[in-house]
Amino acid sequence: MKNSIAVLTGAGVSAESGLGTYRDNGGLWDNYDPMEVASIEGWMRNPELVLNFYNMQRSKLKDVKPNAAHRAIASLQDKYDVSVITQNVDNLHERAGSSKVIHLHGEVTKVRPEHGRYDRDYSESEVFDIGYDQVCLGDKAPNGSQLRPHIVFFGEAVPKIERAIEIVSKADMVLIVGTSLQVYPAASLYRYAGNDTPIFIIDPAELKLSDRRIVHIRENATSGMQKIVEMLEKEENFTTFAPAK
């Protein structure tokens, strides 16, 4: 059986493709108030503003390509059972060839009908792909309700978290790439890794990490992933990477 790797990614993995992160200087949340454009309350107050925000994300995504980090993550599939668990709403992991991708916070290229406050009642069969098209107020789903972005807004539950926890808890290695680990429950996912499971985090920023299991590779996603690939080529036995007791 192949060793399994859970790869937890955030906006930093797509930064070198030209998509901005959220919380770095000049990031999206410097220019937009997340409570206005990405929360359930914001949607209830002003759905047009929210639709326009995600229309903008969709059209940016159309013009960018996966980078070497996305491709390196996909290449690990040749030898390992790789599950990508991403907070990103872009489709760059899929476009780089990753076959198992869980989007914890939804997907910007998909929409679904609105089901009223908190939207707990949607089913996967109602979600559909709109690619890079724009969505306007008044655009309706087949059931007659307004289309909304297939995004987990702030204030909503994260339906895929249970599946993600299961994957991380069984993984032989956990790789974290480009996330500030500030948004829960995604930020605490790595804690479900086994005590002897090696955990690497690739991020150029200084991070305050209290978990002794984590090895911080302080680099951009592309060069950091290159290091991981080289390391795995030399040493396939994951127990070598197990955290010191």
Rounded least distance, CB 135 to ligand OAD, Å: 17
Nearer to ligand OAD, 59 or 182 (CB): 182
Number of residues binding to ligand OAD, judged by CB under 6 A:
27
When binding is defined by CB under 6 A, the residue of 83, 87, 98, 109 that contacts ligand OAD is 87
At 4, is the secondary structure helix, strand, or coil? strand
- Contact status: 73 vs ligand OAD (CB under 6 A): no
**Token pair of 171, please?**
């993984």
**Alpha helices, DSSP H only, in the chain?**
12-15, 28-31, 34-37, 40-45, 47-62, 68-75, 92-96, 161-170, 221-234
Catalytic residue among 103, 105, 150, 216: 105
Nearer to ligand OAD, 26 or 138 (CB): 26
One-letter amino acid of 69: A
When binding is defined by CB under 6 A, the residue of 90, 94, 107, 203 that contacts ligand OAD is 203
- Reference 169, options 185, 202, 191, 201; nearest CA is 191
- Contact status: 179 vs ligand OAD (CB under 6 A): yes
Which residues between 4 and 43 bind ligand OAD (CB under 6 A)?
10-12, 15-16, 21-24, 27, 34, 38
- Reference 13, options 171, 176, 215, 214; nearest CA is 176
Nearer to ligand OAD, 40 or 165 (CB): 40
Which residues between 94 and 133 bind ligand OAD (CB under 6 A)?
105
Considering just the CA atoms, what is the radius of gyration of the chain in Å?
Answer: 18
Contact 200, 175 (CB under 8 A): yes
Contact 94, 116 (CB under 8 A): no
70 catalytic? Reply is: no
Contact 221, 12 (CB under 8 A): yes
- Contact status: 220 vs ligand OAD (CB under 6 A): yes
When binding is defined by CB under 6 A, the residue of 50, 73, 76, 152 that contacts ligand OAD is 152
Binding footprint of ligand OAD on the chain (CB under 6 A): 10-12, 15-16, 21-24, 27, 34, 38, 87, 105, 152, 154, 178-180, 182-183, 202-205, 220-221
